[in-house]
Structure 1
Amino acid sequence: MARSKPTDSPAPTGKAGRGPGTAGRGRSSGTAAGATASGATAASGSAKPGKDTSGKAGRAPKLGKDGQPKVGRLKKVGNQARMIKQAYSLTRKNDPKLPWLMLIVFVAVAGVVELLAILFGAPFLFIPIAIVLGVLAAMIVFGRRAQGSAYRQVEGQPGAAAWVLEGMRGDWRVSAGVAGTTQLDAVHRVLGRPGIILVGEGSPARVRGLIAQEKKKIARVVGDTPIYDLTVGDEEGQVPLRKLSTHVMKLPRNLSAAEVNSLGRRMAALGGPKMPVPGGPMPGGRQMTVSSRQVRRR
C-alpha cells in the first residue's frame, strides 16, 4: 500500500524561519546588542561634559558698582571717542575758528618744549613729550571753546539755569522749578554742602518776590541752615550763566555729608517741582503744543 505525502509544506528552517522581530539565540543577537551598545556609547561620547558650551551662553554678565553690566575698556574708549567727535562737530559749526586755534596752540606748546630740549642737548628725546603736551593743550582749548559755545546757545532760554545746575560735578541735589510764573520765570532749589541755594532766572522784579516766598517756606523746615539766593543774568548784582556753576561751587562748605543727607530727608516734605519748567533749554523758534498749554493751565 502506497504511503500518501502530506499536503502541508514544511516550515522553513535556519535564518529564513526567523521573523524580523524575533530575537535569535545565536551570535546574531549578540551582534545586535553590541551594535546598540556601541551606538549609545558614540551618542554619549559626542556630548563631552568638558566641552559643553551651554553654560557659557546662560552665564549672567558681570555687573558694576552701579548695577549695570560692565563695559570693556576698548568699548569705553570707542564711546568716548565718538562723543568727542560729535562735540567737536557741533562746536565747529558754531565756532569756525576752533580748528585753527587748536592747531596754533599745539604748534606753540610743542615748539616751546622742543626748543627747551635743544637747549638741554636732547632734541630727539623730548619729541614724544612735546607731542603729548601739545595735544593736551589743544584739548584744553577745545573744552573751553565747546563750553562757551554751549552757554551762548542756551543763554536767555527758559530752563538754562537748571541745565547748568544739573551738570555740576559733586553731590548737588537740584530741584528745578520749585516756584515760577506763567511767564516762565522760575526758582530752582539746590541742596549741597554750603546749605540751600535758591537760583532764580527770568525777570528780576518777578523773581525777587518768588525767591522771598520760597525762602520763608524753607526756613520753617531747615532751621539755622544757611540759605543763599542769587539771580541769573548780566545786570549788576546778578550772576552770568557761564559763571553760575563756578559761583555755586565756590560757596563755603557749612555742612557735612551726614548733615546734607539729614537735611535732604527733611526737604523731601516740601515736595518737588511746582511748575512745568523744562529740564533744559527750549529750542528757539519752537511753538508750544496743545498738551503743553494744558499743563501750563493746571
Structure 2
Amino acid sequence: MSAGTPAPATGRIAQMRQAYRITKNSDPNIGLLLLLWFLVVGGVFAVAMLLLFDRGVLGIILAVVFGILTGILAALIVFGRRAERAAYAQVEGQPGAAASALQMLRRGWIVKPVVAFTKSQDIVHRVVGKPGVILVGEGNPNRVKSLMASEKRKHARIVGESVPIVEVVVGRDEGQVPLPKLNRHLQKMKKAVKPAEQTAIVNKLKALDAMRPAAPMPRGPVPTSMKSARKMMRG
C-alpha cells in the first residue's frame, strides 16, 4: 500500500465528523432524523424487492442488502443538505462568507474573490459565467452599492457594452440575495455569453486586476464545513 493511499479516506471521515458536529449544534435532532430516513427508505425498498422478486433465502438477502444501501444513501443525502444549511448559518453575515459560497460553484464559473474592498470590510467579488460578469457585494448596503457602481464602470470599460454586468448584493434585506440562495440565484440567471467568450472576458479582466494591489481576504473563520457539506451532497 502506498504512503498516500489512506489520506483520502481519513480526510473524508474527518470532514463528515466536522460537518456532523456543526450540524448537531444547530439541529440537535439530526441523528434521530437520519435514523428515521434510513429506516423508512431502506424498509420501503427492501419490501419492494421482496414483492418483486423471489422470497427465498437469496431474495431476502438481496432485499436486506438493497434496503441497507438505499437507506444509507437517503440518510447521506439528507445529511448533506442539513449540513450545508448549518454551515451557511454558521458563516452568514461574516466578511468573506460570500466568497466561500461562490468558490463552491461548479465548472463554467470563474470566481475572483475580493476584487474591491473598503477598510470597513465592504467587499465586492467577481464571477464570470454564462450570464456575463457578475459583481457580488457584501457589507453595508449603502457603501457596498457605491463600491459596486465604481467597479461596474471599471469593468464596463474593459469588457465593453456587449457583455452584461450584473450586480448582486448578499443579505436578508429587500432586493438582496440570502447567502444560502446565492449560488442558485446565479445559476438561474439568463445565459448571455458563450464559453469561448467567457475565456476572452477573463483574459481582458486580468489587465484590470494587474493594475491594482492584491486584496486580502478579510479576517474571520474560514467556513471549510461548507465545502465538506457540498462534497457529501455530490457523493
Calculate the aligned-residue CA RMSD, in Å.
2.6
CA deviation after TM superposition for structure 1 residue 181, in Å:
2.3
| 1:246-267 deviations in Å (ceiling 9; x for gaps) | 1112223322322222111110
**Equivalent in the alignment of 1:259:** 197
Query: For residue 127 of structure 2, what is the amino acid of its counterpart?
Result: V
Q: Would you say the 8 A contact 1:158–1:277 is kept in 2?
A: no
Aligned length: 214
Q: Would you say the 8 A contact 1:200–1:230 is kept in 2?
A: yes
Structure holding more helix per residue: 2
**Superposition map of 1:71-220 within 5 A:** 72=5, 75-120=7-52, 122=54, 124=60, 125-220=62-157
**Equivalent in the alignment of 1:237:** 175
Give 5+ residue unaligned stretches, structure 1: 1-68, 285-298
Question: Is the aligned partner of 1:228 residue 2:166?
Answer: yes
Q: 1:70/1:199 Cα in 2 relative to 1: closer, same or farther (>3 Å)?
A: farther
Q: Distance in 2 between matches of 1:78 and 1:182?
A: 40
Query: For residue 68 of structure 2, what is the amino acid of its counterpart?
Result: I
Q: Distance in 2 between matches of 1:267 and 1:174?
A: 12
Aligned-residue identity in percent: 42
TM-score (norm 1): 0.65
**Equivalent in the alignment of 1:43:** none
Query: For residue 78 of structure 2, what is the amino acid of its counterpart?
Result: V
Q: Distance in 2 between matches of 1:251 and 1:70?
A: 45
Q: Would you say the 8 A contact 1:198–1:229 is kept in 2?
A: yes
CA deviation after TM superposition for structure 1 residue 88, in Å:
2.3
CA deviation after TM superposition for structure 1 residue 82, in Å:
3.4
Higher relative contact order (CA 8 A, sep 6+): 2
Q: Would you say the 8 A contact 1:186–1:277 is kept in 2?
A: no
Q: Would you say the 8 A contact 1:204–1:231 is kept in 2?
A: yes
Q: Which runs of 4+ in 1 moved over 6 A?
A: none
Q: Distance in 1 between matches of 2:207 and 2:201?
A: 10
Bigger Cα Rg: 1
Query: For residue 168 of structure 2, what is the amino acid of its counterpart?
Result: L
CA deviation after TM superposition for structure 1 residue 168, in Å:
1.6
Q: SS of the residue aligned with 2:102?
A: helix
Q: SS of the residue aligned with 2:153?
A: helix
